[in-house]
Amino acid sequence: MQETASNEKQLNFLEEIIEQGLSEGKYEAIQTRFPPEPNGYLHIGHAKSICLNFGLAKKYGGKTNLRFDDTNPVKEDTEYVDAIQEDIKWLGFEWASIHYASDYFEQLYKWACVLIEKGLAYVDDQSLDEIRANRGTVTEPGKPSPWRDRSVEENLDLFERMKNGEFEDGSKVLRAKIDMAHPNMQFRDPIMYRILHANHHRTGTKWCIYPMYDYAHGQSDSIEHITHSICTLEFDIHRPLYDWFIEQLGIWPSHQYEFARLNINYTVMSKRKLLQLVKEGYVNGWDDPRMPTICGFRRRGYTPESIRNFCERIGVAKRDNVIDYSLLEFSLREHLNKVAQRRMAVLDPVKVVIDNYPEGQSEMLTAVNNPECEADGTREVPFGRELYIEREDFMEDAPKKYFRMTIGQEVRLRYAYFVTAQSVEKDAEGNITCIHCTYDPATRGGDAPDGRKVKGTIHWVSAQHAVDAEVRMFDRLFATEAPDEAPEGKTFLDNLNPNSLTVLQGCKLEPALASTAISTEENGVKAPVRYQFERMGYFCTDPDSSEGHLVFNRSCRFTLLFLPCSFSWQVKAFCPQVCLWTD
RNA sequence: UGUCCAAUGGUGUAAUGGUAGCACAUCUGACUCUGGAUCAGCCAGUCUAGGUUCGAGUCCUGGUUGGACAACCA
């Protein structure tokens, strides 16, 4: 109890700012916003921002708007608008209202005229290159534009004609008139408007001038009375400009606060790079289960809870950070362990024949659906003379600590019987094609009446009743911890993990899975159905499944198993780090 | 050689001038009809030099290191 009490006092820096403002009466309730640009799909870094913006408002009884920052028509598209809304909903958040920066174009235009009238903005005829050259560098001051001192009347006239489409793209811009020698580059007469004869996803061809981020964002916040405009660190240096526009316009004072963006090792978090992976076919779309996108994690089998818990756990601060991928997987396992029903599935099957089990006989055995949730009940699993077990669960020459099946060692078939391997059949190459066992009928259900114990329990599927499936095994998309750091002449693409996807065919599932739903609805969004395949990890249905052809994705494996000197398919293909460790 | 931001175990994050705590990772052990889960435990930290103070991770100054800013992107 005291623990929780003291934990509640441990606020992050944003909560402190909010609580202080609340107690000082700066605002009655907080208002936040999540402002994505609809130019790509949301990724786990956005999830952090979403959890912050929506979470903070929720915690303090405030509201959160969804606002599309759509001020650059050449990059934006309604496809992204729809996907973004779906992802936010799926994560379990609701916006108070939905807005578009483009809704404010008219107001923004009027305010620009106000600044011109105050002598704080001017139309610049310089070319892109001239503007760039005259901006100076971080250590040298810039040079004023020759057009900097045009009259208010001329500026007003020119700006209106810009709006009316009289000029070509790039021929003129509207600039704030601040200080070309300012040590903060953002203040060297920042561009407010550029001419873009482009079709906008919402306003069509109504406008041919579009506001820049710095001129649009703060004013949009102000219009919506956003009390806390929370953004990432790279905008820190923009804050003085954010404040400047609001102050000069004398409008409702929103304030900006910055936090450090999320980085996770073994992955990239830039929209540009994610787009490249999709466009150039390194992955199969934005929702490829290897992608760090929200829709990718959804298809991978992640739950909204697991992502929210992850975002809670990583905390928020102003220092750069790189989170271990393992923390994400921990959050997933933690949740799935509680909610995922268990099933038996043999991914790399080898045939087992129980020689003393009557031919042609089969029976039903009872298995627990989820030991963590009694309400999930039990199911019946068919058992017969011929079974499949994991190839990895049998070893001819086993070391002492190998508890699974080997000649003469009794093991338990989960929920079924104790069996003992007697002999094997092999093909010409020496591969095991069949294992012959004997079983003890007295151990039905998995316990011996005489109280004898076995060290190992393995999963199995009745050969006669097995359902075939395809299973996609994923490993990390990148082979290196910091994929962005590529040596001279290389790019992040050179850091891709060539073994990030392995497709297994002919996997054998217990028949209960034949009737599984392929998808379910979660927070109003279509999501996969998730299972734990006993001893193998967490898996979920993939939408590529069709009638008679089930496809499962591996969401994550369990924490690394102890695999003494075994060099099986599993180790080789999916646990390169284990190979090193057991070598 | 400018302006701004930041430095706490391997990785994150608390401690708000008063015992440096928590989580993940790693390792050990216990238990188990999943080598899962669970439980217990180990290892490990305040960038540096001064200053203020009875007392500094916290305040001040210098240094060091890392990051952001020179798109008509956001």
Smallest CA–C1' distance to B4, residue: A237
**Prediction pTM value:** 0.94
Tell me chain A's radius of gyration from C-alpha atoms: 31
Considering all nucleic acid strands, name the nucleotide whose C1' atom is nearest to the C-alpha of residue A131. B72
Q: Is A37 marked active-site?
A: yes
* Mean confidence (pLDDT) of chain A: 94
Considering all nucleic acid strands, name the nucleotide whose C1' atom is nearest to the C-alpha of residue A235. B68
Quickly state the pLDDT bin for A571 (edges 50, 70, 90): very low
Across the strands, what pairs with A70? none
Smallest CA–C1' distance to B21, residue: A7
Provide the CA A24 to C1' B58 distance, Å, integer. Answer: 24
Q: Is A271 marked active-site?
A: yes
CA A122/CA A489 separation, integer angstroms: 43
Provide the CA A171 to C1' B30 distance, Å, integer. Answer: 76
Name the DSSP letter for residue A260. P
Q: Nearest-CA neighbor of A434 among A449, A419, A423?
A: A423
Q: Strand locations in A464-518, DSSP E?
A: 467-474, 501-509
Provide the CA A499 to C1' B51 distance, Å, integer. Answer: 57
**A341 CB contacts (<8 Å, ≥6 apart)?**
A369, A370, A376, A531, A532
- Given its phi and psi angles, is residue A95 left (phi above 0), alpha (psi -120 to 50 degrees) or beta? beta
- Residue pair A325/A333 in contact by the 8 Å Cβ criterion: no
Provide the CA A340 to C1' B36 distance, Å, integer. Answer: 13
pLDDT (tens digit per residue) in A375-409:
999 999 999 999 999 999 999 988 888 999 999 99
CA A559/CA A167 separation, integer angstroms: 62
Residue A100, SS3 per DSSP: strand
Provide the CA A264 to C1' B66 distance, Å, integer. Answer: 17
Average the pLDDT over A123-136 and give the result: 97
CA A261/CA A269 separation, integer angstroms: 10
Q: Is A140 marked active-site?
A: no
Residues in chain A: 583
Smallest CA–C1' distance to B23, residue: A313
Provide the CA A257 to C1' B59 distance, Å, integer. Answer: 24
3-state helix, strand, coil split of chain A in percent (to 5) is 30, 25, 40
Beta-carbon count within 10 A of A155 CB = 23
| Sign, Cα dihedral of A321, A287, A303, A536 | negative
- Residue pair A241/A120 in contact by the 8 Å Cβ criterion: no
Residue A194, SS3 per DSSP: strand
- Name the active-site residue from A135, A143, A261, A273: A261
Q: How far is CA A539 from CA A331, A406, A421, in A?
A: 15, 28, 29
Question: Which positions in strand B are less than 7 Å from the protein's CB atoms?
Answer: 1-8, 10-16, 21, 23-26, 33-38, 66-74
CA A196/CA A205 separation, integer angstroms: 10
pLDDT (tens digit per residue) in A289-311:
999 999 999 999 999 999 999 99
Average the pLDDT over A237-255 and give the result: 98
pLDDT (tens digit per residue) in A178-205:
999 999 999 999 999 999 999 999 999 9
Considering all nucleic acid strands, name the nucleotide whose C1' atom is nearest to the C-alpha of residue A560. B35
Please give the ipTM for the structure prediction.
0.97
Considering all nucleic acid strands, name the nucleotide whose C1' atom is nearest to the C-alpha of residue A190. B72
Q: Nearest-CA neighbor of A540 among A549, A548, A550, A528?
A: A528
Cα A93–Cα A96–Cα A100 angle in degrees, nearest 5: 100
- Packing angle between helix A213-223 and helix A239-249, nearest 10 degrees? 60
Phi and psi of A502, rounded to 5°? -130, 125
Considering all nucleic acid strands, name the nucleotide whose C1' atom is nearest to the C-alpha of residue A263. B12
Half-sphere exposure of A252 (CA within 13 A, CB side): 15
- Name the active-site residue from A37, A305, A334, A372: A37
pLDDT (tens digit per residue) in A409-447:
999 999 999 999 999 999 999 999 999 999 999 999 999
Across the strands, what pairs with A175? A122, A191
pLDDT (tens digit per residue) in A47-77:
999 999 999 999 999 999 999 999 999 999 9
pLDDT (tens digit per residue) in A511-525:
999 999 999 999 999
